[in-house]
Structure 1
């Protein structure tokens, strides 16, 4: 685990964020909050030269993010957050585009179905369909990225895809998740130890999301909560999380279990940072540092997985 201290440059912005967020901490959010949530995330600056195209992949509508120097055969699948209730591909396009540009891979962001209209397992079913759709249209190397609930969805997807390699023609070569929600049973001790420190979430807010998504189904089902999944044979994973989050132990416990299963895991904990702080590029220096590191990690995974090209020896 690597811990990144809060920088002096970020301290004033973090204090201002906490002040602004304090009046709304603990407010439960439902479908009525979707426009507000999308508008908040759409405020992330767009990356220059990333082209956004509406598309359908694997039967799932969403958006392609086309980068000017895309690696042939390489694709990224980005799964957005929002507690399985909020969020959209369009709302996340700017943020996902920032990562896509750094990775150098054309990226598909699916509009997976949301609760409560479409409860579990709709989201994971759509994520699997989108992944297999990428394979069907020629992807040879795939990395998967997600934030918050999308981070949990990413990790559930990894376990599902790698569970039976005989069914999948293309295995994911790496994944990066930001503040992943890995345990919908909410058993992590950071719900107590970070209850005051977290500027955004409370147990009650996340319980509300879990109730809308699960609708009485088992919170420890591995496809809902990847903390309880089989983790052997997964590709390398990078996890970034804020030290003040109630979801901190969702990251640290998953990392511990994955390492014990032989998975290569990089865990970066950022002091003072809120949930999915990476979307605040241009506001927090740590956001740019984290997104740069995620881009480096995923780009290297795609390079390492590229087929070697032999050239004739010179005579």
Structure 2
């Protein structure tokens, strides 16, 4: 658990009262899916850097990349995958965070767009992210690279790393920055304890997005390593930073993955932020900037190795 200044923690608890009022749409219905997509993608905030867009060929059509390039010579390149419960979200949702990290760590930040469920399954989303990561590796052959993401994006980033292991250029990936991720689609104990009162990510959203992401799959099948990174062979992974809020129903996902990451012979740093809900770093929460500062410092250290 990260130590934080008491005043900031009080501000965080006050903010949680606002987060608790957020709706919990059921993505299994057309109305619920539309609402989830609406609340997941507010208008993008103003940024210091101006993002550019590129398009690459993907397995299901074009993949749009939203790219932040810092002033001066970049020290490294980061691919960060947006969240949205697999069913919602877009690269613009992470503009504020990606802008901060690009400037703080002097890195290029690439955010790929991927196809959403239920039009595809999680397996196709992983293919989209693998394609974008391969493009990054080829596009920046002399740079140190990192992969990361938030919420569902952290899942897709972890799954992408597992798929890329052993390929040319994988050795240049020096870190995995995983924020508030879901790594066991059969649900860890903390996820199963979620209720309708859980802020941000409650019972209805958790159940419905998994059901439409892998239709017809029971809990046992959802543990397949190809879709649940927690059960995969994690040997040979780069050092990882796992950031998660204390109140996040996915806190066990991060704790369990950090333990398995280390048991496989890799470095893992787990940071649990007190009083914080799911994906707090991307919601302007009082403790978001302190957490992002630690993420940037960790990325700096990884790039400097």
Task: Please give the per-residue CA displacement for 1:210-255, whole angstroms capped at 9, x wherever unaligned.
Answer: 1111122431122321111111110000011111111110111111
Greater Rg by CA: 1
Structure 1 CA distance, aligned partners of 2:174 and 2:248? 28
Match of 1:214 in 2: 214
Match of 2:19 in 1: 21
Match of 1:114 in 2: 116
Match of 2:186 in 1: 185
Cα 1:75–1:58, aligned 2, differ >3 Å: closer, same or farther?
A: farther
Report SS of the residue matched to 1:61: strand
Residues 289-304 of structure 1: pairs in structure 2 closer than 5 A: 289-304=290-305
Structure 2 CA distance, aligned partners of 1:258 and 1:95? 25
Taking structure 2 as the reference length, what is the TM-score of the superposition?
Answer: 0.88
Structure 2 CA distance, aligned partners of 1:190 and 1:61? 34
Match of 1:271 in 2: 274
Cα 1:115–1:303, aligned 2, differ >3 Å: closer, same or farther?
A: same
Contact 1:232/1:261 (CA < 8 Å) preserved in 2?
Answer: yes
Task: Please give the per-residue CA displacement for 1:165-186, whole angstroms capped at 9, x wherever unaligned.
Answer: 1x32343210111111111111
Taking structure 1 as the reference length, what is the TM-score of the superposition?
Answer: 0.85
Contact 1:195/1:246 (CA < 8 Å) preserved in 2?
Answer: no
Residues 1-315 of structure 1: pairs in structure 2 closer than 5 A: 2-5=1-4, 7-15=6-14, 17-24=15-22, 26-29=24-27, 30-33=32-35, 34-39=37-42, 42-43=44-45, 46=47, 48=48, 50-57=49-56, 59=58, 60-71=63-74, 74-139=76-141, 140-162=143-165, 165=166, 167-171=167-171, 172-186=173-187, 188-191=188-191, 195=195, 198-217=198-217, 218-281=221-284, 283-284=285-286, 286-304=287-305
For structure 1, list consecutive stretches of 5 or more residues without a partner in the other structure: 305-315
Match of 1:307 in 2: none
Cα 1:25–1:51, aligned 2, differ >3 Å: closer, same or farther?
A: closer
Report SS of the residue matched to 2:93: helix
In the TM superposition, residue 5 of structure 1 has moved relative to its aligned partner by 4.7
Task: Please give the per-residue CA displacement for 1:10-37, whole angstroms capped at 9, x wherever unaligned.
Answer: 413432x333333445432454132332
Structure 2 CA distance, aligned partners of 1:58 and 1:7? 49
Structure 1 CA distance, aligned partners of 2:269 and 2:3? 13
Structure 2 CA distance, aligned partners of 1:6 and 1:227? 33
Structure 1 CA distance, aligned partners of 2:39 and 2:190? 27
Task: Please give the per-residue CA displacement for 1:40-97, whole angstroms capped at 9, x wherever unaligned.
Answer: 7x35x63x2x22001124542121111113425x211010011100110122222222
Task: Please give the per-residue CA displacement for 1:255-304, whole angstroms capped at 9, x wherever unaligned.
Answer: 111111111000011110111111244x41x2111101111111221121
Report SS of the residue matched to 2:20: helix
Structure 2 CA distance, aligned partners of 1:204 and 1:103? 37
**Count of residue correspondences:** 291
Structure 1 CA distance, aligned partners of 2:5 and 2:84? 26
Structure 2 CA distance, aligned partners of 1:158 and 1:191? 24
Structure 2 CA distance, aligned partners of 1:51 and 1:20? 30
Superposed CA RMSD in Å reads: 2.2
